[in-house]
């Protein structure tokens, strides 16, 4: 796998000899190992904080992020809201259509939710079919707008084949921290 290249140039023609090439190759090999190790570390770091099915953050990372956001909201007296949702009758979907279709449902819900969020918002897969969203600098009304978008987006999707499409819904709860009501 090509990770990069090294190019040397000299003002004197035929300056470089074979022994230069061997030394340069040894340096290039070490650089390639270091680059690949850095890439693997970054991949492992990503895998440690994300859910492999949905690509969303996992609950461990969410709690870490949420602690920081809550502290900032209190310090700077900014609103902070949280949305929690659960896919309705998800066990029934898995039992009736199988886990592969259940996985499609989870992936679709994750995509729909993310499309309703800002880049500052953070979403995680909290449990099997439960999701949480942290909405910095968002009051209850703003969170309700997001929750409505998510609810309507999920309700509009049909999953499965034409013979028996699956319609899904989500139950959504909203929590808010407001500096005026702490």
Q: What is the SS3 assignment for 4?
A: coil
Name the β-bridge partners of 27: none
Q: Which residue has the tokens 């939710």?
A: 113
CA angle 72, 75, 79 (to 5 degrees): 65
Shortest CA distance to 168 belongs to which of 83, 96, 81, 62? 96
Task: For the beta carbon of residue 44, count every other beta carbon within 10 angstroms.
Answer: 9
Q: Tell me the residue length of the chain.
A: 182
Question: Which residues are annotated as catalytic?
Answer: 129
Phi, psi values for residue 131, rounded to 5°: -130, 150
Residue whose C-alpha is closest to residue 147's, from 81, 50, 58:
81
Count of beta carbons in the 10 Å neighbourhood of residue 176: 18
Q: Where are the alpha helices (DSSP H) in the chain?
A: 18-49, 59-76, 90-97, 99-115, 140-155
């Amino acid at each position: 796998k090509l990770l990069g290249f090294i190019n040397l140039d000299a003002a004197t023609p035929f300056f470089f000899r074979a022994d230069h090439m061997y030394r340069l190759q040894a340096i290039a090999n070490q650089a390639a190992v270091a680059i690949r190790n850095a890439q693997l570390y970054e991949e492992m770091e990503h895998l440690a904080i994300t859910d492999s099915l949905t690509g969303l953050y996992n609950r461990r990372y969410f709690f870490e992020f949420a602690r920081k956001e809550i502290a900032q909201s209190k310090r700077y007296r900014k609103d902070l809201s949280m949305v929690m949702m659960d896919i309705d009758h998800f066990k029934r979907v898995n039992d009736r259509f199988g886990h592969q279709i259940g996985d499609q449902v989870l992936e679709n819900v994750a995509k729909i939710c993310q499309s309703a969020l800002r880049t500052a918002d953070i979403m995680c897969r909290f449990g099997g079919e439960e999701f949480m969203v942290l909405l910095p600098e968002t009051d209850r009304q703003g969170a309700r707008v997001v929750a409505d978008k998510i609810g309507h987006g999920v309700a509009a999707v049909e999953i499965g084949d034409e013979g028996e499409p699956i319609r899904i819904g989500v139950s959504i709860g909203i929590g808010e921290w407001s500096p005026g009501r702490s």
